[in-house]
Structure 1
Amino acid sequence: MSMKNVFTVDNATMLLIDHQVGTMGWVGSISFDEMKKHALMLAKTAKATNMPVVLTSSMEDQAQGPLLPELQTILPQAFENRILRAGIVNAMNDVNFANAVKATGRKKVIVAGVTNDVCTVYPVLTLLEQGYEVQVVADAGGSPSKFADEMSLIRMREAGAIITSTNQLIAELAQDWSSENGSKLLGVIVESFQS
């Protein structure tokens, strides 16, 4: 018997929020390298399966800094089309970002952001209010403290989000490692253990 409501590469879209070199440096609940590895695994997952992906950043010319340069290498088109927010905390309150999400035409949304307690929590709450189904990839982001991270994850879960991890999400998207997409996604996981 299969699970109901499975997120697949054909029904979900991915939102990567504020994976900026400065902002990532403010995270203390997970190591920079681990968080970066997971964010790049998600980017590679979207690329390998042609899943729609929306990137956004906030105030790149300030302390937050630019998005991870690897994102430009992995997802050149999404990087080029990234939504440059001028300081709006809740990305869903940025009309360009909200329109980009809507334009994917998908109601299942995978979200990873830095930081979970500021950049991720508010768009997730808005997406849920708007009727989207949301999975938050908690280990592709973090917060300044473990307590702050836990509070944001509890708040999102209580609002109806599914809290997941990078490998768990990739396995759900794969469904079957021997399928075409499954073998590509297995490659993403294997590569992460070799780096």
Structure 2
Amino acid sequence: MSLLDVHRSIVVIIDLQGKLMDMIYRPNLVISSTIRLMKLADLFEVPVVITEQYPKGLGSTHPQVLSVYEKLTTKKFYMEKDSFGCCEDQFYSILKNARPDTNKQQIIIAGIEAHVCVMQTVIELQENGYEAHVCWECVSGRGEEYRDHALQRMNQKGAIITNHESVGFEWARDKNHPKFKEMSRLFREGQITS
């Protein structure tokens, strides 16, 4: 797989919702890293998709994540779902609308749970010709082992395991990129916590 191309990229944030967020491994790391990923997407004008799994029962997206999402100026999309994985007709339609001129889209993934909704989405994306780039610190589940084994399985299926900082540097490619200084400031803001 190639480096991330800012013109082919779409960020997908899967089910970072109320009741589930209270149970996952390292929730603060997931929240703070996902927020930075969204801010990077906004900086580089990369579309962002947020999904929610049965919000009536599980609650809505975590308020800190939702607050940043609502302020994005880049293209943004929302999808409510009942299926565990995202890969249904509506999702593919959103991806097409997000990048209508791009055939080989690169999907950057954050979300929970790693071993269910995230893994099913990533495997189906890979099987359908998309590149899946999973930000390990933006993904979790109920326990470290669930996350670790899911990341291994996704990697075995061809997904790239990455992190939000690598994503930003791949989008910029060069210290002379007009967004580089702003990106560097973002990385210096506050500590990413566990």
TM-score (norm 1): 0.86
- Within the alignment, does 1:69 sit opposite 2:66 as a pair? no
Q: Which residue number corresponds to residue 53 of structure 2?
A: 58
Tell me, in whole angstroms, the C-alpha distance in 1 between the residues paired with 2:66 and 2:42: 12
**Which of residues 35, 38, 48 is equivalent to 1:40?**
35
**Which of residues 17, 22, 37 is equivalent to 2:19?**
22
Unaligned runs of 5+ in 1: none
Query: Alignment length, in residue pairs?
Result: 187
Tell me, in whole angstroms, the C-alpha distance in 2 between the residues paired with 1:165 and 1:80: 21
Q: 1:139-150 maps to which residues of 2 (within 5 A)?
A: 139-150=137-148
Distance 1:149 1:71, change over 3 A: closer
Tell me, in whole angstroms, the C-alpha distance in 2 between the residues paired with 1:6 and 1:117: 25
Q: Cα offset for 1:14?
A: 0.8
Greater CA deviation, 144-153 or 128-137? 144-153
Alpha-carbon RMSD: 2.2
Please state which structure has a larger fraction of its residues in helix. Answer: 1
Please state which structure has a larger fraction of its residues in strand. Answer: 2
Q: Cα offset for 1:152?
A: 0.7
Q: Which residue number corresponds to residue 129 of structure 1?
A: 127
Q: Which residue number corresponds to residue 8 of structure 1?
A: 5
Partner-residue secondary structure (3-state), 2:141? coil
Partner-residue secondary structure (3-state), 2:189? helix
Kept in 2: contact 1:116–1:141 (CA 8 A)? yes
**Which of residues 96, 107, 119 is equivalent to 2:90?**
96
Q: Which residue number corresponds to residue 186 of structure 1?
A: 184
Q: Cα offset for 1:170?
A: 2.2
Q: Cα offset for 1:26?
A: 1.9
Tell me, in whole angstroms, the C-alpha distance in 2 between the residues paired with 1:144 and 1:46: 27
Q: Cα offset for 1:27?
A: 1.0
Distance 1:192 1:116, change over 3 A: farther
Fraction of identical pairs, as percent: 21
